[in-house]
Amino acid sequence: MKVIIRNDERGLLFKDGSYIKCLKPGKYTLNPFIKYSVTVMDVNQAFYVEGKNINMFLEDQELLDELTVVDVKDNEIANHFEDGKLIDVLNSGKYAFWNVLKKHDFKVVDIKDPEIKSDIDSSIYKNPMLSFYVDSFDVKSYEKGILYYDNVMKKTLDAGRHFFWRSAVYAYVKTVDLRQQQLDMTGQEIMTEDKITLRLNFVCHYKVVDPLKIVEIKDFEEQLYIMMQLILREYVGALKLDDILLKKQEIGNYVLEKLKEKSDSFGVKFLFAGVKDIILPGEIKEILNTVLIAQKKAHANVITRREEVASTRSLLNTAKLMEENQTLYRLKELEFLERICEKIGNVSLTGGSSLLEELNTLLSNKKCGA
């Protein structure tokens, strides 16, 4: 019986079903009267003999010198590199590969801790071949990530893409927005001290500074809304309507200061609070409009009387000056003559008197006629 083993092959010699040794490339003649058998193996493929336990071959040191063996335990995976390139991911078990034509290396990872360590090249776990074994979570530049293992909070994560091995431990990342946010309270009905029910639109700006406290509060925004509502009711309910209309800015300042006292317990920084709108009942609005119109009319009448008194006082002062100064009186006459001439188309003058005397006489006759 002749057997030929090529350069890219190895032969496993069996006698009566038991392994004897490894046959390297070459020609072999076997005794036909002895029950020999040869399993020819391709060294480009993994070492595997069907129906045989791998451990029975590893006692052959000559064979072992041509193999790379890796033993992957439970809760481990092995990244299999062939000539420096990732070609496979191995689950628990014992594996052997021929190191004759190719170099085989392994990166064994304990996935009981799902977080992928920084000593592993990121290009590896981004490989599509690992997609079944790796979960990734994105934390944006304006967010903070909170890492959970089996629903138990572990730590916070900075912005970036984070990778975790899929294992018996379930890893999950919850993100918290760190940007300035706005909480609106619309149509909030509040009764004033003088028993007038009005509606307020209120706004509050805040930023998260402690993400861990945020996730510990159930329905965070709802609780923040209720706290703002109670503070607003406490302050506005102690004021009369007129005071509320005059103190819109003070209402916002008061609520902001009260909110700041609760900042630590909510893990946020309150930046602004203020009243957007005050909505009055229809009948109250009509009454206020009536009062406003009356006030404006009274103010207009005061201004009119003040202007009339000023005008009369000015005329009196002018008359006194003209009485004391004849030249000024004559100038005023000429001013009136100019105005009269502007309204008269033709002026006929007779006699030898001068033009100014004629006009003066005309003016005197008009005064006498009046």
Mean pLDDT over 158-169 rounds to 88
Q: Exposed/middle/buried for 133, CB within 10 Å: 0-12, 13-18, 19+?
A: middle
The parent domain of residue 272 ranges over 181-280
Is the pTM higher than 0.85? The answer reads no
Instruction: Tell me if 7 is assigned to some domain.
Output: no
Percent residues over pLDDT 70 in the chain: 84
Residue 228's pLDDT band, with cuts at 50, 70 and 90, is: very high
Decide if 219 is inside a domain: yes
Amino acid at 108: V
pLDDT single digits (tens) 169-192: 899 999 999 999 999 998 888 888
Residue with tokens 């033993």: 71
Tell me 65's DSSP state: T
Q: Rounded distance, CA 274 to CA 262, Å?
A: 17
Q: Is residue 206 part of a domain?
A: yes
Rounded to 5°, the CA angle 131-136-138 comes to 145
Whether 267 and 354 map to the same domain: the answer is no
Q: Are residues 276 and 355 in the same domain?
A: no
Count CA within 13 A, CB hemisphere, residue 260.
Answer: 9
The torsion angles phi and psi of 204, rounded to 5 degrees, stand at -140, 135
Question: Looking at the domain assignment, is residue 369 inside a domain?
Answer: yes
Mean pLDDT, the chain, integer:
83
DSSP state of 226: H
Instruction: Name the one residue in this structure whose structure tokens are 């909110």.
Output: 259
Angstrom distances, CA of residue 216 to CA of 53, 63, 211, 267:
53, 60, 9, 10
Return the DSSP state at 347. -
Distance of CA 339 to the CA centre of its chain: 75
The answer to whether position 213 is within a domain reads: yes
Q: Read off the pLDDT band of 346 (50, 70, 90).
A: low
Give the DSSP H or E segment for 321: helix 282-324
Q: Bigger pLDDT: 159 or 33?
A: 159
For residue 161, tell me if it sits in a domain.
no
Q: Identity (one letter) of the amino acid at 269?
A: K
Domain shared by 193 and 265, yes or no: yes
Three-state SS annotation for 111-152: CCCCECCCCCCHHHHCCHHHCCCEEEEEECCCEEEEEEECCE
Measure the CA–CA gap between 366 and 107, rounded to whole angstroms. Answer: 124
Residue in this structure with the two tokens 């000429």, named with its chain if needed? 334
User: How many structural domains compose the chain?
Assistant: 2
**Are the CB atoms for 262 and 227 separated by under 8 Å?**
yes
Question: Are 275 and 341 members of one domain?
Answer: no
User: Residue 36 above 60 pLDDT?
Assistant: yes
Instruction: Tell me the C-alpha distance between 292 and 285, whole Å.
Output: 10
Alpha carbons 281 and 258: distance in angstroms, whole number = 28
Q: How far apart are CA 73 and CA 112, in angstroms?
A: 11
**Does 105 map to a domain?**
no
111 CB contacts (<8 Å, ≥6 apart)? Answer: 75, 76, 77, 165, 166, 167, 168, 169
Q: Which of 246, 280, 314 is at the close of a domain?
A: 280
Task: State which amino acid sits at residue 183.
Answer: L
* Domain identity same for 251 and 339: no
Give the C-alpha separation, 350 to 364, whole Å.
16
Number of alpha carbons in the 13 Å side-chain half-sphere of residue 1: 10
The average pLDDT across 317-339 equals 70
Mean pLDDT of 296-308: 75
Give residue 40's pLDDT. 93
Asked if residue 96 belongs to a domain, the reply is: no
CATH number at residue 268: 3.30.479.30
Name the residue among 86, 124, 83, 90 with its Cα closest to residue 104.
83
Structure tokens at 169: 């431990």
Q: Provide the pLDDT for residue 9.
A: 92
How far, in Å, CA of 260 to CA of 252, rounded? 12
**What DSSP state is assigned to residue 278?**
E
Q: What is the pLDDT of residues 271-294, one digit of tens each?
A: 999 998 888 765 665 655 676 666
